[in-house]
A and B are shown apart, each in its own frame.
Chain A
Amino acid sequence: MAHALKAVPFILPAGIALVAAMLASLGFGSVPIPIPEVLRALLDPSAVEPGVRVIVRVIRMPRMIAAVSAGAALALSGLQMQTLFRNPLAGPFTLGISSGAGLGVAVVVLAAGTGGVLGTLAEGFGGYGPYALVVAATAGAAAVLLAILAVARRMAEITTILILGILFGYAANAITTALLQIAEPQQIQSYITWSFGSFAGVTWTQLGAFLPLAAVGILLSVRLMKPLNALLLGERYAETLGMSVRRNRYAIIVTTALLAGATTAFCGPIAFIGIAVPHLCRFALRSSDHRVLIPACAVTGALVAVLSDLISRLPGHDVTLPLNAVTAMLGAPVVVLVIVRRGRVHGRFSSGAVR
């Protein structure tokens, strides 16, 4: 397992940092709780006062776990999309998953005040309540996924699927925009809050649905590391190596949709982690091998998500920043760096040095 060993110098510190960030995430907030107290609340709940127990175990813990799972899920789906499409700017939402989810949310948010069948449905889920949004986002993401799979069945060219995915996203966004135009300001506010992304609203009950989905997606990603490596040479070479391109294309798209769709449904469309973390790992490890990138991306994605959530809480202040503002501020420089470095160090690839 020489390859796994190669990742240790990176994954070990990243893992330690992740644990530290997770503890910090339980301690920081509007009511600061010292780390020893946090540990006691975790290990021996009866030893701390009920207020602290509730804050750590009921309020902050699900949020922290959601951040860990969402970060790992987004980073892994971004990694797979970048390899499948052989495009450094691909990410979890390249195929329009988040736009579909957004459309679903917009429909429910609008319908909630209006009566009628959808309205009743939305009210039944508790108005703009968390479940209505989760179900709506899941339905929207699933609709886009089904459309993509229908296309993938017919289209031979992977680039065609990429372009159609982007166009589906635009179409869904256009409908969302049109819907919001006729919406009440209060309804728009509800949509906008969702679109900022947040781990804060995730409850233990929701984690009961989110965690299994994310776990299945992560396991599927691990299963896919060999075909992903073959895809580094392009689909035609992968086929000559004995890989079924069609089957693995499906598997990668479904896995990505599961990871990105579940995350978006529960936490909103969280930008940049999925694009930036795979690049960060590739450059840190100087490797394209998915056998090291998959564990590295999972750990780093979780770390970046927890850190972003921590920063968004602005410890010491009453205000909170939208999560997406934080991830973009952290992620954009990484993407810029990657593009600039590709231009310089890997400029020869773009002119196609290898045949």
Chain B
Amino acid sequence: MSVGTSYRLDPAVVTEELTVGYRLGHGRRRAVLEGLNLELHPRELVCVLGPNGCGKSSLLRTVAGLLPALGGRVLLGSTPIDAFDRNELARRLAVVLTDRIDPGFLTVLELVSLGRFPYTAWNGRLEEPDRRAVAEALAALGLSEFGERRIAELSDGEQQKAMIARAVAQRPRVLVLDEPTAYLDLPSRVEILQLLRERVTETAEAVLLSTHELELALRLADRLWLIDEHGGVECGLPEELVLNGAIGRAFARDELQFDLETASFRPTRPARGTVALVGDGIATLWTARALERVGFAVRVASSLGPPHTAEAALVEVYDDPTTPSGAAWRVRRTPAEAGADTRRVAADTHRCATLDQVLRTIETGRTGPADGSHAV
């Protein structure tokens, strides 16, 4: 695990009492984040998490030297970041922004070669070490076959990989990425974060990225910088921040709460009552998700029996290889006091072959017009 090794290396980036914000002109300033003492270690992937508008991008831009700090300072190694000239900085720190580029006829190779800008002579010609760095960056991002392709012809995910390869070709010690997975589809998001994760373990680089992907960040990050609504930043292992409730607090909303078991958010208060759920396996998990999504609370019940008085229904999940999802459902809406009448109970128990029918049955008492379900 890379966390263990990171303590032995000097930090790649340190912030000392850093205040992040903007100068508004006429001597006025607006601080977004204040008094930050954060560390980023080599071989670490750190995700900056926080609600929209909390200052993630501003923090990253300040760390990257693109936005002057309002107070305190950023150290790269042991040197303040503003002590480097642009070229020296570009050899140590590479950035992938959310800026859109107009690639024109640029090929992947030309784009990634621009990463050698801080190293090449006045005419931009690539020497042998430059060509090697470019080839390695292309290989690291799985783009070796894409060199002659034009950026404009790539998919969004491939374009983003090319932008990252350009940053990697800079051979930086620190790689800063602002929302590298925004606008990408799920497989591309996972792939890009995985690639960055592998990169950290293979090189001595430190990677700092902002993201909205809470679940992926929890799985992949060595450490989180978690920004809460009040402009505080908490730094820690992802699991630690889950357990101490920091994650839940940072994203707290009246209508959402953080579920410790599933590492996801769900509506705080069910608006439509409780459904008892019996069963195990993946189909039960997704049944619970569906019920919660439409507004029911789920009580995991151990045995099949009539629902409690207060509950809207009881749903039993069982294996059924004849349905497309490999599972089928029994839904009973009758309250407990009516449960004595076994005939009524039997008449009110519906077999459903799809989740859609389950939801419809709970709401209407009928499986609906669709075929494939009947009272048992």
Contact = CB atoms under 8 A, between A and B. Distances in A.
B120 A241 contact: no
Interface string A323-355: 000000000000000000000011011001111
A37 interface: no
B125 interface: yes
A86 B160 CA distance: 20
Contacts of B102: 86, 232, 349, 354
Interface residues of B, number: 41
Contacts of A287: 105
A291 B120 CA distance: 14
Contact of A353 (B114, B152, B170): B152
A231 B307 CA distance: 67
Interface residues of A, number: 33
Nearest to B158: A354
A348 B88 CA distance: 35
Contacts of A291: 123-124
B163 interface: yes
B124 A229 contact: yes
A355 B104 contact: no
A40 interface: no
B105 A353 contact: no
Contact of B99 (A229, A236, A244): A236
A223 B122 CA distance: 7
B100 interface: yes
Contact of B101 (A233, A240, A242, A348): A233
B90 interface: yes
B124 A226 contact: yes
A6 B122 CA distance: 20
Interface in A203-253: 223, 225-226, 229-230, 232-234, 236-237, 239-244
A355 B90 contact: no
Contacts of B294: none
A111 to B, nearest CB: 43
A226 B101 contact: no
A345 B89 CA distance: 37
A288 interface: yes
Contacts of A230: 114, 117
Contacts of B86: 239, 242-244
A286 B110 CA distance: 13
Given A223-B122, A241-B90, A233 B114 contact: yes
B165 interface: no
A31 interface: no
A229 B113 CA distance: 10
A1 interface: yes
Contacts of B312: none
Given A234-B101, A282-B105, A288-B106, A229 B114 contact: yes
Contacts of A237: 95, 97, 99, 101
A263 B298 CA distance: 79
Contacts of B156: 353-354
B117 A226 contact: yes
A304 to B, nearest CB: 21
Interface in B233-275: none
B94 interface: yes
A108 B233 CA distance: 66
B99 A242 contact: no
A132 to B, nearest CB: 40
B66 interface: yes
A169 B143 CA distance: 46
Contact of A355 (B93, B94, B118, B182): B182
A83 B265 CA distance: 46
A232 B101 CA distance: 8
Given A237-B97, A242-B86, A243-B86, A354 B117 contact: no
A238 to B, nearest CB: 8
Contacts of B91: 242
Contacts of B160: 354-355
18 contacts: A223-B122, A226-B117, A226-B120, A229-B124, A232-B114, A239-B86, A240-B93, A240-B97, A242-B86, A243-B86, A288-B106, A288-B110, A291-B124, A345-B152, A353-B159, A354-B159, A354-B163, A355-B183
Interface of A: 1, 86, 223, 225-226, 229-230, 232-234, 236-237, 239-244, 282, 285-289, 291, 345-346, 348-349, 352-355
Given A229-B114, A232-B104, A241-B115, 16 more contacts: A226-B124, A240-B64, A242-B91, A242-B117, A242-B118, A282-B104, A288-B103, A291-B124, A349-B102, A354-B101, A354-B103, A354-B159, A354-B163, A355-B98, A355-B99, A355-B182
